[in-house]
Structure formats: structure tokens, C-alpha cells
Amino acid sequence: MALGRQLEYAQVAMFTANTLTLTQHILKRQHKHPDATGQLSGLLTQIGVAGKLIQANVRRAGLIEVWGSTGDTNVQGETVQKLDRIAQDIFVDIMKRSGCVAAMASEEEHEIIEVPADSSGDYVVCFDPLDGSSNIDANVSIGTIFAIYRRTKKGEVVRGDTLRPGHEQVVAGYIIYGSSTVLVYTDGSSVDCFTLDPGAGEYFLSRANLRMPDKIKQLSLNECNEPYWPKWVKPYVTSVKGRNDAEKRRVSSRHIGSLVADFHRNLIFGGIFLYPAEPSGKAKLRLLYEANPLAFIAEAAGGAATNGVQRIMDLQPEGLHDRTGLVIGPKAEVEACARFAKEHGN
Ligand code: P6P
């Protein structure tokens, strides 16, 4: 065998010997809960499987004619991209077969998706199968975002099983399909990142107990939305830009229009993301399967997430596709936004 190949295998062998796989990490966490049935571990492991199958299609976008749209529109009135449909179908099928899920709420479906009683389980999953999909044809990082709730009662599934405030999440996470595929999840105790080794077909712990940097290096928002901003956003943005002077550029602008990519970059490097609701209340991002799971992760990493003034995870959803303004980043920065909102109003 060529030396290079031997080195590669040696590196993988060394890597696997020294770091946890996703399943090992999940099981380690389960063993801390003596009353655990193993369902949540099974569910999380299956979400990892769904991520592998989705990334296999994302990686071949354009080669197997998944580029472009189906020509359909979804419940959001947005053009459904072919990969949206593939990601949706994969995620739903894997969840249904896991035996851990009773119902799902998806960005792509008007109503909740019930799991037949003979393969139902104790959990409810709210998910966006492929966030950022409008960027697919430009090869921008996109991702699957998920929130997991434990059912509060058995029996027939009702909408109330999914219309839960974010603080009732037991696990939240996302899988970002970027330069590598990375699964990030939290149970509230820590935020941990797992990178998929495509050669081994396994996720390996790549960042443990990730903490959101207190200081922002990046400001992430769509500045062309300025005409629609509430009154407080412009003074806040101006104050952030005012941190740059002749001596040093302390904050830079980074916004790619793929929430999961913008959030992940800010989580790693230190940044704040804003997509405020308009003064009329009209908003873009979805509460159940975008804002809530990312808010759970942000708070578990030491950060914060609001709609400008209220904690995202305290908002009581009224509908599966409720939208909300979102300010998410370091706690001090999110609190500063709330002060600007109080001072300048909507
Ligand atoms: P805009 C992608 O469609 C998405 O839902 C988020 O991923 C992203 O942050 C936002 O929309 C971008 O919206 O209005 O800036 O194009």
C-alpha cells in the first residue's frame, strides 16, 4: 500500500482512537440518566443517519439533476427546491422508522405529520429539512435544523404536542452541509460538534462544550432590509460600526443569507445575527424549527436569543409556522439590542 495511503489510515486510526463518535457521546450522556429508556439516544442517532443521507444528495447537487426547483411552492409560499423535497422525505422516513417519534412539524408541511401507532414513540420533532435552500444552486452552506420535545401525554397526537414553548425542548441541533458536514447538538448541558468523516461514514467529536465568544467580531444581518427595520436597529448597527476606528477594525460584516451557516460561523468566531420583525410585526424566520432550536443552542453555549425584547424560548407558539424576529448572539450584545429597542422603540 502506498505510503500516503498508510499515513491516511494511520491518521484516521489515531483520530478514531482518540475521539468519541456521535453514538458513543450520546450513549455516554444517556448513562447519566438511570431512568432513560434509550429512545432519545436512538432518535438522535437516527437524526445523524438522516444527515448522512441528506449530505450525500447535497454533495451531488447538480450532478444528479437535484439542482433547481421542483416548480412547486411550499406552505411558506416559497419555491420548493428539489433538494428540499429530498431532505424532507429522508428526514420524515428516518424519523417514522426510528420508533421514537409520535409526530413531527416540518417547514415543508402544512399540518403535523403523525407517526402510525405501531411505530410511534415518546418524542415530537420540529424541523426545517433544508434551511437556506434558496442558496443551493450557489453552493452556499445549508443545513437541517431540529428541535426535540418529550410528549407530555400518551394517546392521540394533537397539535398541542408540537405547539410548545422553546424552553420545553429536551434536545436541539443542526447539521450544516458546508466544507464538511458537521452535526451540532445540545441537551442544555453543553453544545458539542461532530464532523462527519465521509471515508469512515461516522461522525467524530470535533468541538466539545463549545462556548459562544462574549465579544463579537462579526455583525450578521441583511442591510438591504433597512427600510423595513424597527427604529432601534439602525442606531444599534451604527453603534457597532462605531467600534471600528483608525487604530483597529474590531467588527466586520458577515452575512450569507443561510441562517444555519450564519449562526454556526457566529457561534465559532463570535458574532451577532439579527433578522428583526418589521414594525408591522411581519417577520421572516420561523419560531418552531429555526429560532427555537438555535436559541436553545445559543443559551447552552452561554449566549442569548430574543425577538428583540422577549426571550425566544418563552414565546408560546400559536401555529406550526409562526414567524418571529430574531436577535441571537452573546448575552451582553443581545441585551444591548434590548436596551436600544427600549430607548428607540419599534
Ligand atoms: P433574506 C433562508 O431562506 C432563510 O430562511 C434563512 O436561512 C436566512 O437567514 C433568511 O431566510 C434570509 O432571508 O430576506 O435575507 O433573503
What values do phi and psi take at 86, rounded to 5? -65, -45
Domains 2-207 and 218-344 share a fold: no
Give the pLDDT confidence score for residue 1 in this predicted structure: 72
Q: Any residues with CB less than 8 A from the CB of 214 and at least 6 apart, and which?
A: 270, 302, 330, 331, 332
Give the pLDDT confidence score for residue 329 in this predicted structure: 98
Instruction: Indicate the CATH number of 218-344 among 3.20.20.120, 3.40.190.80, 3.40.50.200, 1.10.1610.10.
Output: 3.40.190.80
The residue contributing the CA closest to ligand 1 atom 3 is 132
Domain boundaries, the chain: 2-207, 218-344
Q: Where are the alpha helices (DSSP H) in the chain?
A: 3-18, 22-30, 39-58, 82-98, 233-241, 259-269, 292-300, 331-344
Q: What is the pLDDT of residues 69-89, one digit of tens each?
A: 666 776 777 766 688 889 999
pTM of the model: 0.92
The residue contributing the CA closest to ligand 1 atom 12 is 257
Pocket test for ligand 1, best of 259, 321, 322, 323 (most atoms within 8 A of CB): 259
Give the pLDDT confidence score for residue 68 in this predicted structure: 61
Place of cell 491516511: 8
For residue 303, give the 3-state DSSP assignment: strand
Measure the CA–CA gap between 330 and 335, rounded to whole angstroms: 9
Which atom of ligand 1 is nearest the CA belonging to 262?
Answer: 9
Q: What is the pLDDT of residues 263-285, one digit of tens each?
A: 999 999 999 999 999 999 999 99
Cα–ligand 1 centroid distance for 218 (angstroms): 18
State the amino acid at position 335 in one-letter form. Answer: E
State the amino acid at position 213 in one-letter form. Answer: P
No. of H helices and E strands in the chain?
8, 17
The residue contributing the CA closest to ligand 1 atom 16 is 257
Place of cell 409562526: 322
User: Cell for 79?
Assistant: 419555491
Measure the CA–CA gap between 126 and 147, rounded to whole angstroms: 5
The residue contributing the CA closest to ligand 1 atom 4 is 132
Which residues in the chain show pLDDT less than 70?
11-18, 64-71, 74, 79-81
Q: What is the CATH number of domain 2-207?
A: 3.30.540.10
Place of cell 431540529: 146
Give the pLDDT confidence score for residue 135 in this predicted structure: 87
Pocket test for ligand 1, best of 131, 274, 324 (most atoms within 8 A of CB): 131
Give the pLDDT confidence score for residue 264 in this predicted structure: 98
CB 127 within 8 A of CB 289: yes
Pairing of β 252-253 and β 218-220: parallel
Pocket test for ligand 1, best of 78, 127, 134, 233 (most atoms within 8 A of CB): 134
Cross-strand bridge partners of residue 171:
148
